[in-house]
């Protein structure tokens, strides 16, 4: 099994230019997972920065990426003592696939939150439902255990609310870091599955924030939507670490798989 670190590694080619081979293991069919693509972009952004962590990312997904060679282009927009901002683009076959603005900074791993809400309630890990029997592609790279309360759509009994909750870790056993969080934020089954809309829901725009460096162990990923309309839906996701800390937040706008009958 290829580790996530190796699968997202970028190779310097010139100033602000990196080569990468997009891993087939992180794809669904022929399209590569968007969270994985963000992990690749963030590797290059941090490599070009004097700061250690990707604090905030605003990405537009322009077209599906395919497994195989690609390049990442990094254009610095601002540098500073506490933060730096760059435009980062993934290009494949001469066409942009993902465009993002990435702000980097350096977080203190020992800093405690001045305020933090309560972690989401989840059933014990041992009663949660594995992601599925199809252990190929993306599904084989992650270990996800879903709250049974949000999995009724599999049996034709969706809850009616756009929601999804799961425990998450890499199948390779790597501990979570900011690049793994980018993957976790886009790893859930689309929340609209629980409104009867099942299938591929391609992300058009995704913004996420790194709030803290994650502790080792399982992550808890919680997603919810507020509006499904005209073939579009939103999805807000939080990621909590094994120590009960909120470590990442995101919002995305996506196309809805199909209209509920």
> Terminus-to-terminus CA distance in the chain, angstroms?
40
**Mean pLDDT rounded to a whole number for the chain:** 94
Check pLDDT > 50 for residue 221.
Answer: yes
pLDDT tens readout for residues 53-88? 999 999 999 999 999 999 999 999 999 999 999 999
Matching CATH topology for 4-105 and 128-255?
yes
Cα–Cα distance measured from residue 11 to residue 29, given in angstroms and rounded to the nearest whole number: 26
pLDDT of residue 258: 62
pLDDT of residue 135: 67
Check pLDDT > 60 for residue 261.
Answer: no
Residue 199: pLDDT band with limits 50, 70, 90: confident
Distant-in-sequence, close-in-space partners of 102: CB < 8 Å, separation ≥ 6? 41, 42, 45, 54, 56, 57, 85, 86, 87, 88
pLDDT of residue 103: 98
pLDDT tens readout for residues 232-241? 999 999 999 9
pLDDT of residue 124: 97
Q: Where are the domains of the chain?
A: 4-105, 128-255
Cα–Cα distance measured from residue 157 to residue 141, given in angstroms and rounded to the nearest whole number: 28
Which of 57 and 2 is assigned the larger pLDDT? 57
Cα–Cα distance measured from residue 170 to residue 144, given in angstroms and rounded to the nearest whole number: 8
Which of 63 and 258 is assigned the larger pLDDT? 63
Residue 259: pLDDT band with limits 50, 70, 90: very low
User: For 128-255, which CATH class?
Assistant: mainly beta
pLDDT of residue 257: 77
Q: Domain spanning 4-105 has what CATH number?
A: 2.40.160.210
* Rounded mean pLDDT, 247-252: 98
Which of 35-44, 150-159, 162-171, 177-186 bottoms out in mean pLDDT, i.e. has the lowest?
150-159
């Amino acid at each position: 099994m290829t580790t996530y670190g190796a699968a997202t590694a970028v190779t310097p080619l010139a100033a602000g230019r990196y080569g990468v081979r997009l891993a087939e293991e992180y794809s669904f069919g022929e399209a590569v997972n968007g969270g994985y693509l963000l992990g690749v972009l963030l590797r290059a952004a941090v490599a070009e920065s004097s700061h250690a962590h990707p604090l905030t990312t605003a990405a537009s997904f322009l077209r599906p990426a395919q497994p195989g060679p690609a390049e990442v282009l990094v254009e610095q927009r601002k540098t500073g003592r506490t933060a730096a901002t760059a435009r980062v683009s993934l290009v494949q076959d001469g066409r942009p696939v993902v465009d993002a603005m990435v702000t980097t900074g350096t977080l203190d791993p020992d800093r405690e939150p001045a305020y933090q809400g309560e972690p989401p309630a989840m059933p014990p890990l041992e009663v949660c439902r594995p992601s599925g029997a199809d252990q190929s592609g993306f599904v084989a790279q992650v270990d996800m255990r879903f709250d049974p309360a949000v999995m009724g759509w599999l049996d034709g009994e969706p809850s009616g609310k756009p929601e999804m909750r799961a425990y998450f870790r890499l199948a390779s056993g790597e501990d979570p870091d900011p690049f793994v969080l980018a993957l976790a934020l886009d790893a859930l089954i689309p929340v609209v599955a629980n409104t009867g809309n099942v299938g591929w829901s391609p992300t058009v725009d995704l913004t996420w924030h790194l709030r803290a460096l994650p502790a080792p162990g399982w992550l808890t990923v919680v997603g919810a939507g507020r509006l499904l309309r005209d073939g579009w839906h939103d999805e807000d996701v939080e990621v909590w670490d094994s120590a009960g800390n909120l470590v990442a937040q995101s919002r995305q706008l996506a196309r809805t798989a199909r209209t509920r009958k």
